[in-house]
Structure 1
Amino acid sequence: IHEVIKGADLVFVTYGLGGGVGTGGGPIVAEAARDAGALTVGVVTKPFSFEGAQRMRIAEEGLIWLKDKVDTLITIPNDKLLSVVDRNTSLLDAFKVADDILRQGVQGISDIIVTPGIVNVDFADLKAIMQEAGSALMGIGRAQGDDRAAEAARQAINSPLLEASIEGAKGVIFNVSGGLDLTMLEINEAAKIITESIDPQAKVIFGAVTDDKLKKGEIKITVIAAGFGENARKDEATAKLPLEEKISARMKKPVFTTTQVSGSGEDTSQDEWDIPAFIRKKMK
């Protein structure tokens, strides 16, 4: 693990909670990444309710373990996906949607710093929001038509994927994806709607990229909101630093490399190996 993540500035640890491979191994990977000095972001899904109480209990315990190992943790309950998929969606397709949500969470963050676009973001700014941020929320909105930017922004901040409101967030990252016809006015409209929903003193960074995979005339907005009071001690400590230390910290901009560690393909068998080792030991 240490060899794989060596030299990475940003590591994503992403998987579906509740099984043995991801739930048991994810926190180990995350801890190794943070020990190596990488900004470590967890993007995980919780099981569908129909997967059973035991799997959900394992997921909840695994979530507590992971939270202490990452800088930022985005958790998406699979049950929330039921409100965004068609009623006739098959079970197999539902799990594919869950995996795709994980991808969108990772891509929404990585695109604004590694994908050449209209507006790109400095890694130091991203780190300022996501380092030791604790729990975070992610929302996604898509729209077409004359009012597409405003509509996509409203969808993102009111997304069914959000477990709570983004109100009170101390840091927000939003990424606007569109075609070559994406305008600055549209980005401004989206930004206004998003910033009106958060703390007035919140730090906001945004990116804008072109995406030829979108439908013609479509715009997609991904919003990541973090810092819901959990990083208050970090903020207070930073505020007390001498001015020269703050300036020095801002001047340190590492060469950016990324490593993605993915474990979304959970073992779905129901035998003992579906239970993470740290829980099996408790049961013996």
Structure 2
Amino acid sequence: MDKKSFEFILPASDPPIIKVIGIGGGGCNAVKHMFDKGIKGVDFVICNTDLQVLETNPIPIKIKLGASGLGAGSKPEVGKKAAEESIEEIRNLLKNNTKMLFITAGMGGGTGTGAAPVIANIAKELDILTVAIVTTPFMFEGNIRYQQAMTGIEELRNNVDALLVIHNEKLFELYPDLKISNAFSKVDDILLTAAKGIAEIITVPGIVNVDFEDVKTVIKDSGIALMGTGYAEGENRAIESLESAIHSPLLSEIAITGAQNVLLYISYGSDELTIKEFKEMTSYLQNETGGANVIWGNSHNPELNGVQVTIIATGFNPTQSTTIKSQKYENTYCDDSKVAEQKIGYGRNYRDDEELEKLENIPAYIRKGKKININAPSPGNIAININKDKTISENNYLYKHVD
């Protein structure tokens, strides 16, 4: 496999060609988290209809959507109209040296759901490579919010090159004792690692480098994407890290089988990958995908003790990418003082919490990522966990993160 020997390095004097834009409450929180943690070689932007949220966020580049500055009231049509009122400001920002755009938002509320497709369409008109990384609501947030999210995701899907959907409900399965305030932090971690994993493939130089055009080949007009990162040490580190990346639980619900394009990026510490290990990894990928076109790169990371793998797989059959793997919602309804008991099955056993926590501490990219679907069965009339004894402000805490 031929590979150019030169490195793709962004000169220090050049502005970043990648922008990460957070839309709405959830998107703004996620971008602040990315800004605090750091992603090399990107500019951060936040957009919101709520002026107060913008003013309290440290991100320097901000766009107030619409004229009122009072939020969207969980109404996507209000968020959409506000974004349309700010189209010229958004366009002027994006046409300034932007080659790639990440859009992140919490779907189901007003601003993120309504404005994200508008902003994505502007990027599409400017021929900017665009990846959307969005979340769906927790089931306790109710059917209306869920259906709004599904509608918004479908609109967004038509205007982006690649779409990654994170199902918040999986957090309850993986971390059943997680406090609700910490659940949103977990979501921010996942959004960070997804954006960081893709962006730093381009911006961090490697020994065999993956450049912007390589990423564009895999992502351009690809639709639903599978992305994941895995890490392993020891004798079987190569295959185990790749398996972890392919089967990790948090980012998606598509099997890698049938992918037409795969970007494979390998990082290692002092113990460099051998030719035998590399051959094992590429052969495994070919077998799992059924013969995908594999673009690869590798780099040395002195912070690692083992092998870390990031993969992006695209080019799935449309019927495959819109059907979730045996996802079932079983709801036991109860009286007004209790929440519905919800049991969810996703078709495979996930790794335990200890392994997930270990991977969260791996530097530079992401914990792991798996498979997705935007047309999952509706959860039905899910009971909303609003405690009548709590104040309105306490209950609204859940919603300020996603509007």
Check whether TM > 0.5. yes
Counterpart amino acid of 1:69?
A: N
Task: Tell me which residue corresponds to 1:15.
Answer: 105
* TM-score with structure 2 setting the length: 0.53
Counterpart amino acid of 2:314?
A: A
Q: In 1, Cα distance between the equivalents of 2:183 and 2:105? A: 15
Shift of 1:226: 0.9
Distance 1:178-1:93 versus aligned 2 partners, 3 A rule: farther
1:133-187 deviation digits (Å, cap 9, x = unpaired): 1111223322222222211111121222331211001111222233232314444
Q: Contact conserved, 2:172 with 2:178, CA < 8 A, in 1?
A: no
Q: Within 5 Å, which residues of 2 pair with 1:135-214? A: 135-161=224-250, 162-185=252-275, 186-200=277-291, 202-211=292-301
Number of residues paired by the alignment?
235
Q: In 2, Cα distance between the equivalents of 1:60 and 1:24? A: 12
* TM-score with structure 1 setting the length: 0.74
Q: Contact conserved, 2:271 with 2:306, CA < 8 A, in 1?
A: no
Deviates more, 1:14-23 or 1:150-159: 14-23
Distance 1:145-1:58 versus aligned 2 partners, 3 A rule: same
Task: Tell me which residue corresponds to 1:225.
Answer: 313
Q: Contact conserved, 1:141 with 1:221, CA < 8 A, in 2?
A: yes
Q: In 2, Cα distance between the equivalents of 1:190 and 1:94? A: 34
Larger gyration radius, structure 1 or structure 2: 2
Q: In 2, Cα distance between the equivalents of 1:30 and 1:268? A: 28
Q: In 2, Cα distance between the equivalents of 1:113 and 1:192? A: 24
**Sequence identity (%):** 39
Q: Among 124, 127, 130, which residue is 1:40 paired with?
A: 130
1:227-258 deviation digits (Å, cap 9, x = unpaired): 1134xxxxxxxxxxxxxxxxxxxxxxxxxxxx
Distance 1:114-1:77 versus aligned 2 partners, 3 A rule: same
Residue ranges of structure 1 left out of the alignment (5+ in a row): 231-266, 276-284
Aligned-pair Cα RMSD in Å: 2.6
Q: Within 5 Å, which residues of 2 pair with 1:232-271? A: 270=399
Q: In 2, Cα distance between the equivalents of 1:207 and 1:163? A: 25
Q: Contact conserved, 1:81 with 1:160, CA < 8 A, in 2?
A: no
Residue ranges of structure 2 left out of the alignment (5+ in a row): 1-89, 319-395
Task: Tell me which residue corresponds to 1:100.
Answer: 189
Q: In 1, Cα distance between the equivalents of 2:124 and 2:103? A: 11
Q: In 1, Cα distance between the equivalents of 2:218 and 2:237? A: 27
Higher relative contact order (CA 8 A, sep 6+): 1
- Which one has a larger percent helix, Structure 1 or Structure 2? 1
Q: Contact conserved, 2:218 with 2:313, CA < 8 A, in 1?
A: no
Q: Contact conserved, 2:270 with 2:305, CA < 8 A, in 1?
A: no
Task: Tell me which residue corresponds to 1:250.
Answer: none
Shift of 1:83: 4.5
